Structure 1
């Protein structure tokens, strides 16, 4: 099993909503970009929520646009061993210090978990701080989570909009 590390957080002092995934998959790691797999629906889902064509933008512009809308990104897993990209293959994981990060975000009102694995690990890592925020457990944007059709995922992800108002 290969040892994998997460990317740096994409946040600034105006971040209002923090979206947390588990750990970037193989394609994302290879491209050094969040949600780089063409079949991952993350950029489509968030783009529809904010009314921007994120998937049609260059990566750096996507990140800038997220920050303009006060949305931050990071992962709950700092590092782990994992064969492939599936969360079910995570081994020997170390969590990111989510409490330290959220303490630097004075305008943060909501934390959204992209999938069940992210929620389980993230809630544990946040501990008592979790009660200070609105928590959204969103269906995974991963192509591996095909049990829910895109329209149903989008309906759930639209809850991000309410947190940005």
Structure 2
């Protein structure tokens, strides 16, 4: 089945661009970034920048929270073929124009890839592009709730994601 990503959530104050691969089925149905309530991304962002409070139940408020902390959201993939939600099922990738977005928003200094597929696709299509090369690129463990060999749940993922505050220098509270 052909699936398409959402438009970027970004503004002139954005310093960090979190890149997913492609929204999963629950997110596509809700038309929300990280719309699967089991995904850890919003919980992680609120833990890091919201003083430990729980994510706002309203999607628009979560987007405002991210933007107010210099965080933008997009996906490495614009269109692909995929059955279900697993990155391993992604085929026939057409990438998003990440270099073009970075030219329009030069204040973005760090790209944070949410998972291996995002990182792989970014590098495959744009790894040598000057817009990418002049920025820090971090590969973080996926915020998907699916356990992996090294990341079993929220706590170990949150611990790994804590490093983005120090390594980017852009997350000033």
Aligned-residue Cα RMSD (Å) equals 1.4
How far does residue 159 in structure 1 lie from its aligned partner after superposition?
Answer: 2.1
How far does residue 158 in structure 1 lie from its aligned partner after superposition?
Answer: 1.1
Which consecutive residues of structure 1, in runs of 5 or more, have no partner in the other structure?
A: none
TM-score, normalised with respect to structure 2: 0.89
Written as runs of structure 1 = structure 2, the 5 A alignment for 1:61-140 is: 61-126=61-126, 127-128=128-129, 129-140=131-142
Which consecutive residues of structure 2, in runs of 5 or more, have no partner in the other structure?
A: none
Other structure's SS at 2:137 match = strand
Tell me the number of residue pairs that the alignment of Structure 1 and Structure 2 aligns.
Answer: 164
CA shift digits 1:124-149 (9 cap, x unpaired): 33333322111110000012244313
> Is the CA contact (8 Å cut-off) linking 1:47 and 1:55 kept in structure 2?
yes
Q: Which is worse superposed, 92-101 or 128-137? A: 128-137
TM-score, normalised with respect to structure 1: 0.93
Cα distance between partner residues in 2 of 1:54 and 1:87? 27
Other structure's SS at 2:55 match = helix
Higher helix fraction (1 or 2): 1
Partner of 2:40: 41
